[in-house]
Chains A and B, each alone.
Chain A
Amino acid sequence: MGPAVSARRQAGREPGAPGRGTLRAREARTGWALISPTVVLVLVLVVLPILWTVVLAFQDLRLIRLRTAGLFGDYTFDNFADVFGSPGFWSSLVTTLMYAGGGTAASIGLGLVAALALRRGFRGRTLVRASLLLPYVAPVVAATFVWGVMLNPQFGVVNELGTGLLGWDEPIAFLSERPSALLTVIVFEMWRSFPFAFLFITARLQAAPATLEEAARVDGATPTQLFRHIVWPQLLPTIAVLALLRFIWTFNNFDDIYLLTGGGAGTDVISVRVFDFLISRGDIGAASAQALVLSAVLLVLVTVYYRFAAKDEVA
């Protein structure tokens, strides 16, 4: 918004300005005409479906009877009783929290290390920086497939090198045994998402004023002291926002775990359970109830995010 706009705005506020109402009204009409297709699309394909999930969660609806069943009426609390009462639910919630917490911490940690290591320029930095972003843009199906083959106990390269060079007694079934599967999906999440944190933190580092650090260096601060007392405090707000965003996304992540383990071996996160209830069991009501629980947690997180970080973003 340049000064011209504010000048126009002031001109509009002048009491005697001719045609003020009609210009204003015409601008508003054009604005609504231009934005309304998007608003309609988002309402129909995002907002209404979310509201409809609430209705579905209180119904006993099966996939097989979907084409004949009435879509409204016959409300019941059975789905929630099923969801909260089933033995898998609470352990699944714990798994999801561990996955989201671990994945968030690991990806931000590695992103921070990468941003600091690449902070000073060197020949080929642009290329290195671009290469580090590849896991984030690569198709998730290809990435999970190649990781699955790499970690395969029969002919995967990791197990071959581990037994051959590192002296492992036997191949590790990374994706199909209990503690290792959850750890592996967290490492995968770190590999795939650290570029996001890396980009964010790099942008923040570039915006940090050099004078502060120079002054501290003149006063005799060592590199670690510089980081601890000058750089880290400046990064902290960025990292807080990042942590929240990454936690929200990892908490809801479906693709990575579904494709890596299918939710087996102690990686049964809630999003994969929603999918299983919907597709394998064909139980629409229970799937919706499950999704609602997920939304409730998400709603809390989004509210925190909005309060905390997004106030000036939304204009």
Chain B
Amino acid sequence: MAGIATVPAESPAAPETRRSGSPAGRGWSRNTVETRVLGVLRWLVIAGLVLFTLFPFYYMVLLSLRDLSSLLQAPARLWPALSELTVDTYRDVLAPTDSGGQGFLRFMATSGVVALGTVAVTLVFAVLGSYALARLRFPGRRRIGVLFLAVYLFPSILLAVPLFVFFTRVGLRGALPALVLVYVSQTVAVAIYMLRNYFQTVPASIEEAAAVDGADRFTIMRRITLPLAMPAILSNALFVFMIAWNEFLFALLFLVDDRSRWTVSLGLSQLAGSIEIPTTVLMAGSVILTVPIVVLFFATERLLTGGLTAGAEKG
């Protein structure tokens, strides 16, 4: 009762004092409160975000280095004891199956071949195509732009059924080159889009000067345009490599029947359900799958972030 009684007594006074202050003064006090609160909140948010994003990666590395039995005894311990640290998990996961391992070294070789093949083919297609789109006038150019945008937006699950049926029917479903071609068809549109934007920032006058000096178009491309576009081509290559290395659905559809052709992603996903393989060993497998991407990413972050917004994902 006492509390309620004080409210009407005080409430007329409070607006009174506020009203007596100048509008600027009132704004200043709210401003100070907000600035201080947001100033603290900002650091809390940053700390929370870093924890939220990085914790799964930390946990991945942590579990890959811990001994399985000690993990089961103390699952919540977030720092490893020195005595339980082990790299046997990595040896187990990398060793070939006939010596008791999981054969991830072989998976890595397959992933590497597929990803590098995709990069090479995509770059050849994309450099030629983006140069044409940026520099040359030809009928249908606009329509091709629309076609590529549609490809970029179309998700891979819609292509899964017809491509699976087609490659099964022609008997090429387990073939790595078939998978590489599918990856190229998925990445080439974005690669062309990114490279075309870059070519458009390079002044055409340099090439025209060379043309005046008598160079033909392919000499110009080889000697002038390509060297100038090298940074963009390199970031494109890394970007395509990441997509091909990470890809899961088509690897699953095309390669799952034959363990000797599994990629790292496919291998990890197929072995993840198994009861016989210790979680810590598979965690070492996920570290092996993730590390190349993280290293590439931090080495080239500046080059890549522009490209990521230009379009990165096939859902």
Task: Say yes or no: A141 contacts B248, CB within 8 Å.
Answer: yes
Task: Say yes or no: B165 contacts A131, CB within 8 Å.
Answer: no
Name the interface residues of B257-314: CB closer than 8 Å to any CB of A: 264-266, 268-269, 272, 279, 282-283, 286-287, 289-290, 293-294, 297-298, 301, 305, 308-309, 312-313
Number of residues of chain A lying within 8 A (CB) of chain B:
106
Residue B234 at the A interface, CB < 8 A?
Answer: no
Q: Which of B78, B125, B145, B309 contacts A41 (CB 8 A)?
A: B125
Task: Say yes or no: B248 contacts A220, CB within 8 Å.
Answer: no
Q: How large is the interface on B (under 10, 10 to 19, 20 to 34, 35 or more residues)?
A: 35 or more
Of B30, B57, B153, B186, chain A has the most CB atoms within 10 Å of the CB of B153
Task: Say yes or no: A38 contacts B125, CB within 8 Å.
Answer: yes
Residue A72 at the B interface, CB < 8 A?
Answer: no
Q: Which of B144, B164, B184, B287 contacts A278 (CB 8 A)?
A: B164
Q: Which of A39, A136, A147, A315 contacts B142 (CB 8 A)?
A: A315
Task: Say yes or no: B50 contacts A39, CB within 8 Å.
Answer: no
Q: Name the CB-closest residue of B to A190.
A: B52
Q: Name the CB-closest residue of A to B56.
A: A146
Task: Say yes or no: B76 contacts A157, CB within 8 Å.
Answer: yes
Q: Name the CB-closest residue of B to A278.
A: B161
Task: Say yes or no: A31 contacts B138, CB within 8 Å.
Answer: yes
Q: When chains A and B are docked, how far (Å) is the Cα of A46 from the Cα of B163?
A: 9
List residues of chain A with CB within 8 A of the CB of B31: 220, 222-223
Q: When chains A and B are docked, how far (Å) is the Cα of A63 from the Cα of B314?
A: 26
Task: Say yes or no: B38 contacts A223, CB within 8 Å.
Answer: yes
Task: Say yes or no: B153 contacts A149, CB within 8 Å.
Answer: no
Task: Say yes or no: A142 contacts B153, CB within 8 Å.
Answer: no
Q: Would A274 and B182 be within 8 Å (CB), given that A1-B204, A200-B309, A310-B149 are in contact?
A: no
Q: When chains A and B are docked, how far (Å) is the Cα of A287 from the Cα of B161?
A: 7
Q: Name the CB-closest residue of B to A50.
A: B158
Q: Name the CB-closest residue of B to A292.
A: B158
Interface string of B153-165 (1 = CB under 8 A from A): 1111111111111
Q: Which of A147, A200, A294, A295 contacts B56 (CB 8 A)?
A: A147
List residues of chain A with CB within 8 A of the CB of B156: 254
Of A24, A114, A305, chain B has the most CB atoms within 10 Å of the CB of A114
Q: When chains A and B are docked, how far (Å) is the Cα of A3 from the Cα of B168?
A: 52
Q: Name the CB-closest residue of A to B63.
A: A149
Interface string of B241-263 (1 = CB under 8 A from A): 01001101100010000000000
Tally of A-B Cβ pairs under 8 angstroms: 306
List residues of chain A with CB within 8 A of the CB of B42: 117
**Separation in Å of the B142 CB from the closest CB of chain A?**
7
Instruction: Choose, from B4-12, B82-90, B127-135, the stretch at the interface.
Output: B127-135
Q: Would A134 and B158 be within 8 Å (CB), given that A142-B286, A314-B146 are in contact?
A: no
Residue A97 at the B interface, CB < 8 A?
Answer: no
Task: Say yes or no: A49 contacts B205, CB within 8 Å.
Answer: no
Name the interface residues of A1-59: CB closer than 8 Å to any CB of B: 1-5, 8, 24, 27-32, 34-35, 37-39, 41-42, 44-50, 52-53, 56
Contacts beyond the supplied A49-B162, A313-B149: 18 A-B pairs with Cβ under 8 Å: A4-B204, A27-B137, A31-B138, A34-B132, A38-B126, A38-B128, A38-B192, A41-B181, A47-B147, A52-B166, A132-B50, A134-B53, A140-B265, A146-B283, A271-B155, A274-B161, A298-B158, A306-B146
A-B contact pairs, 21 of them (CB 8 A): A27-B136, A28-B136, A32-B138, A34-B129, A42-B147, A42-B151, A45-B182, A50-B154, A67-B169, A71-B169, A110-B49, A113-B45, A117-B45, A117-B49, A139-B286, A140-B265, A150-B56, A199-B305, A223-B38, A252-B158, A275-B160
